[in-house]
Structures are given as C-alpha cells and as structure tokens.
Amino acid sequence: MSQELLFANERVDRPRALRCRGVLAAVLILAGTGGAVAGSAPGSLQEMSRKADELAATPAGREQAIAAYQALIETHLANMDLYDAALRQLVRCYLEAGRAEEGIQFIANAGRKMFDPRRGNAFRDVMREFSVNYPEQVTAALDQMMSAARRETRMSSERRETRAAEMAPMKELSTAILQRNDADRREKALARLRTMLAAESSDNIKKQGLVTLYAAITAKFDRRPFRALVLPLLQAKDPDLRALALRCLPGLDATIGDLALVLPLVADPAVEVREEVGPALISIEQGKQLEKAIPALTTLLRDPERSVVQRTLSCLGGPYSSPELDELLIQLAKDREYHGPTIYSALSTIRSKSPAVCRRLVEELSDPDWNNSGRAAWGLTYGVTEEAKPLVEEGLLKALPQETNDYTRENELRALYGVGTEKSRPYLQSVIDSPLETDKLKQLAREVLAALDRRP
C-alpha cells in the first residue's frame, strides 16, 4: 500500500486499526474516540497532559516527555473499558431516574464531541509527519499493522466458524430421539446425549449436546436425568453453555425451586445469557412467584443491550404487572424499535389492566397500522379494571366512528361490550340502523346493546 494512497483516501481500516496495541493504534484511538470528551471534563487526563507539555518545552525534558505522553495514552487505553461501563450505567441511571430525554441529550452531545469531523484525522497527520523523513519505516509499520489486522480478522472468522460448528445440532442424534417407531434406537440416542452432557465432557461436546437436546426437546422421554445434567451448566464459565442451558431448562420439567439459579443471571456479564433469562424465567415461574419475577423482568427491560429487551418483551404479559413495570412498558411503547412488541406481547396481554395501561392502549387506537391498533383494541376486550372502564369507553366511542379497518373495529366493539354504559347506546343504535354497516358489525352492536339492557 503506498503512502500517497493511504493519506489521500484514508484507507486505513479503523476498526482493524483499533485492535492494534502499538503506539500507532494508541494515537489513533486517542484521536478518534474518547479524547475530546475526556479532555473537557475535570479530573481527566489534563494534569498528565500539562506535565508532559512542561517537560516537552525544554530539550532536557524531552526524554521524560516521551514517557509522560506514552503514559497518558496508555492510561487512556486502560480506561476505555471503564468508559464503556460508565456509559452503560449512566443510561441505566437516567432511565431509572425518569430523565430519559436529558440522558439522550447528554449522550448525543458526547457523541458529537467524540466524532466531530472538524477535529481532523490525528493518525493521518502524525503519520504524514513521520513519513517526511522516514518513509520506509512508516511503510513497514503500516504494513505490519495491516498484516496484524488481517491476521486477527482471519482468526476471528475461524473462531466464528468453530463456534458455528460447536453450535450445530447432531442431526443423527436428534433425529433418533424424535422418531417414533423404534424405542430402542431412541433410548440409545438419549444415553449418548447424557454422556455428552456429563461433567467430564469438554465444553464443546456439552454445547453440541445442549443444542441437540433443544432440537429434540419435543420428543417423549424422561426429563429428570437431563435436568440434573443441565442445572449445573447455568453456572458454567463458558457463557455459551450458560445461555444454552437456560434455553433448554424450561423443557426439562424445571421446578419453581430452579429459579434460585435462574434469577441471578439477570446480571450475567454475557449478553447472550441475559437474552435467555426472560423466556426461561416466565416458562418456569408461571405466575407463582411474582414478587421475585417482576423485579427481575423489570431489570431485563432496562438492560442496555436492546436485544435483551426485545427477547424479554417477546414473552411478557399475563400476570406480570406492577405500577413500576407498567410505567416502564408504557415508556418502551414510545420507542419506535420497541413499539410493536410492547403493544403486541406485553401491554395488550396484561390480565389486569390499570388505568395507565388502558390509557396507553386507547392512545394506540389511533395508529393507522392495524397491527398495533387492532392488537390494542383486542387487549381492551378483557382485563380492564373497574376504575379504567370510563376512560376506555370514552376512547372507544371516539375511535369507532373513525376506524376503517374491520378487524380493529370489531375488536373495539367487543371491548365496548365489557365497558359500555348508556353513553354508548346512541352510537350502537346508529350502527344497527346504518345501511352502510356490515351484518357482522350490526350483530356485534346488538350484542353490546343486549348486554346493556341486562345490566341493573
């Protein structure tokens, strides 16, 4: 790669360069990431920088200045993990304090400072300065850096391929367990699978065993010996093992006592593990220990990783409701990425819907996407608490005349069946009398009117 091409087109692969641990990458990282933010805050690297500048001001101090600047850069690198952790914790604190908008603004401002294009490209500039007098050494250093990046990329690819192979179910084994014609063949396959999950097996063999077990989980077999083998893997060192064990556990006749091993995993450092906690927790708990389940689910829904929130939302609903959890779900419904799943899987399925939840579902009735408005209307057909009924009736009577989607409108009428009062009678009669309404909608209106007539 020529220096001219490098400097003209800036073709250094920044993500790859970030992996390099030499001085060149240190300069790149300092210039391209947290340097601007760190340098603007009290207690940052300013004092180290000031001392290094003082040493560099005199010829006698330059050797010490080199060491001081290197220490500054290395300190910055050492603190990058702390920076990432602090950023995640800051987001969580903002959310828990109900200051999400302020948090968004702060993070946006920090990001703008970090990646402001006006800061230029420090890596390119310092390498150009070196290249004036030492072109061959610069070329060699860049080649070495790029070779290391390519080597690491190749190793990463190999690791991905190895992991994919580890995660592939053993087709022959899972097929033997799932087939229904040869009981002896199934028992032999199950015995082999138990051997794969035994304590003395390697982690890779255990992973294959768990993936195979999950692939065959619908078959009929004695779950007890497998549950005994899987439970210890919830505390394995390998996060893949913990995640796979969580995925399998609900299908192994897990007991409510197993929650003692599941609940701590809401704080697991591995994202892939936290993604599996919600589904496993709800499948095992089934509304029997809400005082433990709801705080755990609330924590998962505040997770900084969006994939964890998505997975938890996908299995939520039913008995999982509390003022704090309801409010969190209402806020998540305002997020474009979480909007649909929150309405569909969570808010609409709550068995006892508070006024706050009902108000949010009523607001959703105006969504032109019937996937959301229709689901919200369906959710209002049951579980509306007494104190929420007046606001739901008012919202339905406002939405019904404007609704053009048959599915949503039918559910809105069914919802009116549970909350309607005499206020609804004129509209219901207008539906029955209208020549433009379908027979199905007219029949629904008659049923709601009949329910009104039966009420004292």
Stretch 13-36: mean pLDDT, rounded?
Answer: 36
- Tell me what pLDDT residue 166 has: 52
Cα–Cα distance for residue pair 355/385, rounded to 1 Å = 7
Stretch 180-188: mean pLDDT, rounded?
Answer: 95
Q: Which domain holds residue 138?
A: 3-161
99: in domain: yes
- Judged by DSSP in three states, 35 sits in helix
Cross-strand partners of 384: 353
274: in domain: no
User: Domain tally for the chain?
Assistant: 1
Stretch 401-419: mean pLDDT, rounded?
Answer: 92
Which pair of tokens denotes residue 259?
Answer: 């929650």
Split at pLDDT 50, 70, 90, the class of 70 is: confident
Q: Is residue 88 pLDDT above 60, yes or no? A: yes
- Tell me what pLDDT residue 159 has: 54
- Tell me what pLDDT residue 152 has: 61
Stretch 362-380: mean pLDDT, rounded?
Answer: 94
Stretch 174-182: mean pLDDT, rounded?
Answer: 93
Stretch 26-43: mean pLDDT, rounded?
Answer: 39
- Amino acid 74 reads E
- Tell me what pLDDT residue 119 has: 53
- Tell me what pLDDT residue 61 has: 79
Q: Is residue 158 pLDDT above 80, yes or no? A: no
Percentage of the residues of the chain whose pLDDT score is greater than 70: 79
- Tell me what pLDDT residue 123 has: 65
- Tell me what pLDDT residue 455 has: 79
Split at pLDDT 50, 70, 90, the class of 355 is: very high
- Judged by DSSP in three states, 350 sits in strand
Q: Is residue 4 pLDDT above 50, yes or no? A: no
396: in domain: no
Q: Is residue 235 pLDDT above 60, yes or no? A: yes
- Tell me what pLDDT residue 48 has: 76
418: in domain: no
157: in domain: yes
Greatest mean pLDDT among 8-12, 39-43, 247-251, 369-373? 247-251
Stretch 27-51: mean pLDDT, rounded?
Answer: 50
- Tell me what pLDDT residue 32 has: 39
Percentage of the residues of the chain whose pLDDT score is greater than 90: 56
Task: Supply the pTM of this predicted model.
Answer: 0.63
Mean pLDDT of the chain: 82
- Tell me what pLDDT residue 71 has: 77
**Which pairs with CB-CB distance under 8 Å and at least 24 residues apart come from 1-10?**
1/139, 1/142, 1/143, 1/146, 3/131, 3/135, 3/138, 3/139, 3/142, 6/124, 6/127, 6/142, 7/124, 7/127, 7/128, 7/131, 10/121, 10/124
Split at pLDDT 50, 70, 90, the class of 117 is: low
pLDDT tens-digit series, residues 286-335: 989 999 999 999 999 999 999 999 999 988 878 999 999 999 999 999 99
Q: Is residue 412 pLDDT above 60, yes or no? A: yes
Q: Is residue 45 pLDDT above 60, yes or no? A: yes
79: in domain: yes
Split at pLDDT 50, 70, 90, the class of 27 is: very low
Q: Which of 156-165, 362-371, 407-416, 426-435 has the lowest mean pLDDT?
A: 156-165
User: DSSP code of 40?
Assistant: T
- Judged by DSSP in three states, 185 sits in helix
Split at pLDDT 50, 70, 90, the class of 157 is: low
Q: What is the CA radius of gyration of the chain?
A: 30
Of residues 262 and 160, more confidence is placed in: 262
